[in-house]
Structure 1
Amino acid sequence: MEKIIEVNGLEKIYKKKKTKEIVKAVDGVSFDVYRGEILGLLGPNGAGKTTTIKSICGLLKPNGGSVHINGFDSNKERLKAVNYITAVLEGNRNIYWRLTVRENMEYFAGNRGISKKAIQGKIEELLEFFNLKGKENELVSSLSRGMQQKLAIAIALLPGTDVILLDEPTLGLDVETSYEVRELLKKIVNEQGKTIIISTHDMPIVQEICDRAVIINGGKVIADEKVEGLIKLFETRAYCFTVEDELTNQQIMAIENHFLIVNIIENEINVTLEKEDDLYLIMDILKSEQTKIEKIDRTTVDFEQVFMQLIKEGNNHDSAVASH
């Protein structure tokens, strides 16, 4: 597959105003984005994800490393590099509420150097594609959150860039509209050949439409894998223990203290293990109160469980390193 974005050894350092302490928000982040894929760029709050996104979009200049977009170094040839990417940042920042739908599209096209006359055909096409035709003369402030989000994505498509970066594209949307946005994003890739980077906390959207996930925590990449592969990997760790008697409070506390992913319902214990030896640990906890095990089954996991487990493992690794 052809690489369209290459992030190599990205570093960004900040100095706290009050304490003058130096903080490394991004610490050697490297990953590639391939043409025609939907990539999930994920991480908990404060992980360095937003700094990475701003560096890719040319909004921040990193202290080290590089970002190449379609072969252009965004540090040395910023205008050429960012000409291949459009971003929709969280909060619908690329729409004006006091303009109509059509006026917004014409205005932001003009910002990218496209004349009003030249863009009319593209505007008509996008109004139809996003089911906004009947709303084209309405003020954006009167639209629903879902309509506003669809307009923001439509505006990002106007310049015809190869890459679209979407920050929290389903935030605040109802179930029906969230589903509609997901289907539109898949169409954009399949029918128009675009490359999409999604930054989100909405794990179901990652599981449903992303080909691959890059997960950042503590300023470092802790996972860069196919979504399907990550789920399969963690399915081998997911178990359901069915026991004859209800657990004691001490047993419940012991299990919850040792395992991040736990769901105990009556006589069923659903748990995701970090390593093979953990299977014996949970059996020892059950044995401590002579709790009889009726059966042990493998269970399925979703991507949210995978994400949480990877973050926990990354934090545990950092703690271990710090203690040395």
Structure 2
Amino acid sequence: WIRPCAGKTTTIKCLCRLLNPTSGKIHIDGFDVIKNPRIAYEKAAAVLEGNRNIYWRMSTKENLKLFAGLQGYSYKQVKNKIEELVEIFGLQGKINTEARFLSRGMQQKLAIACALIKNTKILFLDEPTLGLDVEAIYEVRNLLKGKISSEGKTIFLSSHNMGVVEDVCKRVIIINHGKIVADEEIKKIKELFRVNTYRFEIEGKIGEQIKKEFLKRFLGVRFSTDESKTEIIIDLKDSIRIYEVLEILKKRGVKLINIQNIEPDFEEIYLELVKREK
């Protein structure tokens, strides 16, 4: 994850050797691509930010054939591959439609399909869900988690959409003002920030006296109430203190509907990591 304007597109362009880095080293699959720029082209494919990764006045099929041809493949060689990609990306009904007439989501799916024609082990995706509606984001996320990742490809994804990063990626690098503030598997980062936060769902509304008792005995207590129930969210240093909560509720004659342990929110984790570096 890289925050907006932190240089994520520039980073990917350097990795692809579309730009020359001002310092540092770049290795892809063990090869120094600064000394051997051709390696970057051979080892990786990319879809950059924006919607101009495809040719707008060419149809879906023509774009796929063109990008195959740029790799030295004849249509006969990749005919089955094109048909497979068209089916996977749900482009069957748009096969002869010019790219400029496709929806933004369809254009992005076509761009990713064109990158996959190259059949490299590494795929760079720069903000692949930027500007897409909710349905299109959902479809692209499923494609990245499903077929593409199952082929054993490494997907290098840049995004400031926390939901996409958490849902798609196994490992995350967070960059703030050009400095790496985290580099770890998402699962491990969430474990580091795990607190014993619990949601207690109570039947009906609770009185001010009960609220005061909770606020006196616990830190980080939040209440929310609707017509039929009340939710109490509490950060507990020790999960054994759940029994204290239950004791209060029982003493006050309050009916408990449900208890739930709340997972740490990845967006909150990011904000905490960035705040530490200021």
Contact 2:60 2:94 in 1 (8 A): yes
- Structure 2 match to 1:182: 141
The offset of 1:232, in angstroms, is 2.2
Indicate how the Cα distance of structure 1 residues 301 and 116 shifts in structure 2: closer, same or farther if over 3 A, else same: same
Give deviations 1:189-239, integer Å, cap 9, x for gaps: 443111111111211111112101001111111100111111222222868
TM-score normalised to structure 2 length: 0.75
* 1:58-94 per-position Cα deviation (integer Å, ceiling 9, x unaligned): 1221122211112221111111233111111111221
Q: 1:314 to 1:49 in 2, by over 3 A?
A: farther
Larger strand fraction of residues = 1
Q: Which amino acid is 1:138 matched to?
A: T
1:306: which partner in 2? 269
Partner amino acid, structure 2, of 1:222: V
In the aligned structure 2, how far is the partner of 1:236 from the partner of 1:120?
53
Q: How many percent of aligned residue pairs carry the same amino acid?
A: 48
Does 2:103 match 1:144?
A: yes
Distance 2:234 2:8 in 1: 29
Separation of aligned partners in 2, 1:217 and 1:137? 43
State the alpha-carbon separation in 2 of the partners of residues 202 and 243 from structure 1.
40
Task: Assess, with a 3 A threshold, how the Cα gap between structure 1 residues 243 and 181 changes in structure 2: closer, same or farther.
Answer: farther
SS of equivalent to 1:123: helix
Q: With structure 1 as the length reference, what TM-score do the two structures score?
A: 0.65
Aligned equivalents of 2:113, 2:7: Cα separation in 1: 28
Q: Please, what is the CA RMSD of the aligned residues? A: 3.2
Q: Kindly state the Cα deviation for residue 265 of structure 1 after the two structures are TM-superposed.
A: 5.8
Q: Distance in 2 between matches of 1:51 and 1:264?
A: 45
Do the aligned partners of 1:212 and 1:225 also contact (CA within 8 Å) in 2?
yes
- Residues 49 and 239 (structure 1), Cα distance of their counterparts in 2 relative to 1, 3 Å cut: farther
Q: What residue ranges of structure 2 are gaps of 5+ in the alignment?
A: 200-205, 210-221, 238-259
How far the C-alpha of 1:187 sits from its partner, in A, is: 2.0
- Which residues in structure 2 correspond to 1:1-324 (within 5 Å)? 42-236=1-195, 244=208, 299-315=262-278
> In the superposition, relative to structure 1, how do residues 244 and 112 fare at CA in structure 2: closer, same or farther (>3 Å)?
farther
Paired residue secondary structure (1:148): helix
State whether residues 48 and 216 of structure 1, in contact with CA within 8 Å, keep that contact through their aligned partners in structure 2.
no
Give 3-state SS (helix, strand or coil) of 1:160's partner. Answer: coil
Which consecutive unaligned segments of at least 5 residues does structure 1 have? 1-41, 246-262, 277-296, 316-324
C-alpha distance in 2 between matches for 1:220 and 1:128 = 41
Alpha-carbon contact 1:74-1:82 (below 8 Å) kept: no
Equivalent residue number for residue 293 of structure 1:
none
